[in-house]
Structure 1
């Protein structure tokens, strides 16, 4: 009972901090808000804030993620998905555009409304992570769109263009409120589906990727982990590929998805060295997952699972040593009949492991 009471007290404290922080960030903006002001508004000590959040940036990201979860909580699961590609693309764009700041919003309020991490990660590492996350988001959207229409085929280029148009509209709304018509932007995203886009994918560098190493090692997956896209448990039963990616290597998710066999379960384990980067990953992918869930039936949602491997449980189980994990990590394993039958590390590891059955045979 005492333990339960402590847990409830901590939850209440955290909720009070998030509420106070959201108000401060809305009124003053990120730059002018201080942890002391948040503590005063929450009627807590500065130490109480830091015991729940490591710093102001982490707190801002937590406020944004809390907003994403709140917005998604009351959203009904769609009973049907638009049957063809153009209305599906348009419907996704319309949902995404709901976040645009209103003409009367202040700059600070607009950034919170749009769940924008603008200005939080301006260093090279942060920009690289954001670029990789957009690749992941593009893959997730493409997988959902590929279920629409007969012979839909690959839709990665389409997804990338849709997100380019949407983020451009978001950036314009932040600096020039009231410019542009969201309805027309959504219509334009739908019309992109009819464009003659080149969707071929055969990078020449894959021919130089070293083959995966054949092995026969036991596979002992960790306990229940959560798919940050859907918020649902990510199981590890059956055959599949597990890819461990550092925050600077997230773009390799494209190789993983394109190289994996259709019936292989694909899990991406994202490892980070900065907790704030982990919070950014959670925010962006939870946001994408919430948008997709409002348009596509569960059976039409992306099949790739993304796990934020905070405690290195999954990467350790995959044979990646804790000491060797970095932002540049890229490693992968192929699982067959409950055993690891191939391993790969370095650039192209996802492709090497996913296609290893062509060289080593199936177990």
Structure 2
């Protein structure tokens, strides 16, 4: 029998740790789980566990990410689109609510099924990133609900209300399994699609955003990146807008998407200074949402934006904002905002700082006939 390579052995060890960790978290929950018991279950040393995962929090998030990636891969698209936004929102709620635990489930297994983060996020940056992720999830749901090319702010707010309803139901079910009728919750979500909220004007701060700098620079984007919504490889050299956002600034994607033209391909590149924890948190939330969307919306009705995870910081490095081969220790990647407009293989506009995506999306195209989406 051929000997395993170092990479193959490491992958086998990592898989064994994940299996053991899932059993440990299902039996004991996150708080009471022990790394020593996980190592014993996997028939490995404690050091072998820590050589693959930085700690219990990173390991728990890895287990949840593994679960949602499997669920997304198994998600079968519907035969056809639903007739109205209300029906689509109700169907989304029914799919999402399948995670609610039953009365007989153990607390640990129920928490895993819920993708529970109770007691997991102990730092302010992690909680801030979660708040940004919730807003980004509402944006992605709204993009699926609203016909293209644009998405009004009111639709994003209604999507946010629906997600608040669902997460609230999950918080109750976590401590009192069996409480709440999923069918009633789905009907309530369906009615949220028609609630009158109005479309807010552009946020006041956008008036003060520095315009993007005109450019005419060659663009050699990193290869091998994948759109998490479609699963296809992404070519960042295509015409459009590329917005690089830290996990703590993801809500800024809404301003960029609402300001882009109907012909623009908009790609949101998610970066973080802590791929093991904040990066996994971002992947968990976004992949989980996309898995639900795939079961409700046909491929041509999935969110218009492309979403790319860039754990290595390859895209900001290619734009000259990070040293090649590693993150800048003095830079807070979770607060990153960088955006470019690409046309004909060239970077034609470049913006950084607050509102960078908005600035790049608003920058005039070489095509004088370009119009805004809204």
Q: CA deviation at 1:172?
A: 1.0
1:168 shift after superposition: 0.8
Structure 1 residues 11 and 315, CA gap change in structure 2 (3 angstroms): same
Deviation at 1:97, TM superposition (A): 0.5
Q: Does 2:167 match 1:167?
A: yes
Shift of 1:41: 0.6
Report the counterpart of residue 344 of structure 2 in structure 1. Answer: 337
Pairing of 1:99-248 with structure 2 (within 5 A):
99-147=99-147, 155-248=155-248
Q: Any conservation in 2 of the 1:94–1:183 contact (CA below 8 Å)?
A: yes
* C-alpha distance in 2 between matches for 1:128 and 1:190: 29
CA distance in 2, matches of 1:229, 1:54: 28
1:181/1:281 CA distance change after superposition, 3 Å: same
RMSD of Structure 2 on Structure 1 (CA): 2.4
Q: Which residue matches 1:321?
A: 322
* CA distance in structure 2 between the partners assigned to 1:3 and 1:236 by the alignment: 39
Deviations 1:167-188 (A, max 9, x none): 1111111122221101100010
Q: Is the CA contact 1:331–1:350 (under 8 Å) kept in the aligned structure 2?
A: yes
> 1:156·1:199 contact (CA, 8 Å) conserved in 2?
no
Contact 2:72 2:290 in 1 (8 A): no
Q: Aligned partners of 1:213, 1:359: CA distance in 2, in Å?
A: 14
User: What are the ranges of 5 or more consecutive residues in structure 1 without an aligned counterpart?
Assistant: none
Q: Which residue of 2 aligns with 1:346?
A: 353
Would you say the 8 A contact 1:135–1:253 is kept in 2?
A: no
Partner of 1:268: helix, strand, or coil?
A: strand
Is 1:46 aligned with 2:46?
Answer: yes
String of CA shifts for 1:241-291, please: whole Å, max 9, x gaps: 111112221111111111111111111112211121001111111101100
Give ranges in structure 2 of 5+ residues lacking alignment: none
- More divergent stretch after superposition (246-255 vs 227-236): 227-236
- SS of the residue corresponding to residue 294 of structure 1 reads helix
SS of 1:12's equivalent? helix
TM-score by length of 1: 0.93
**1:25/1:108 contact within 8 Å kept:** yes
Residues 166-222 of structure 1, C-alpha deviations (whole Å, 9 max, x = no match): 111111111222211011000100011122221334112211111111111111111
Deviation at 1:2, TM superposition (A): 6.2
SS in 2 for 1:121: coil
Secondary structure of 2:339's aligned partner? strand
Change (3 A) 1:206 1:2: farther
In the aligned structure 1, how far is the partner of 2:345 from the partner of 2:290?
A: 29
Number of the residue aligned with 1:294: 295
Q: Greater CA deviation, 61-70 or 283-292?
A: 61-70
Counterpart Cα distance in 1 of 2:210 and 2:11? 49
- Report deviation, 1:5: 5.0
C-alpha displacement at 1:8, in angstroms? 4.1
Measure the CA separation in 1 of the matches of 2:42 and 2:274. 27
Shift of 1:361: 6.3
Residues in 2 aligned to 1:112 and 1:40: alpha-carbon distance in whole angstroms: 21
Q: TM-score, normalised by structure 2?
A: 0.90
Q: Is 1:226–1:232's contact at 8 Å kept on the other side of the alignment? A: yes
Note the C-alpha offset of 1:12.
2.9
Name the structure 2 match of 1:16: 16
1:305 paired residue number: 306
Task: Tell me the secondary structure at the aligned position of residue 341 of structure 2.
Answer: strand
The answer on whether the counterparts of 1:78 and 1:294 sit within 8 Å (CA) in structure 2 is: yes
Contact 2:77 2:294 in 1 (8 A): yes
Aligned residues: 362
Deviation per CA, 1:131-167, whole angstroms, max 9, x where unpaired? 100111111100100139xx98662111111111111
Q: Residue 268 of structure 2 aligns to a residue in which SS?
A: strand
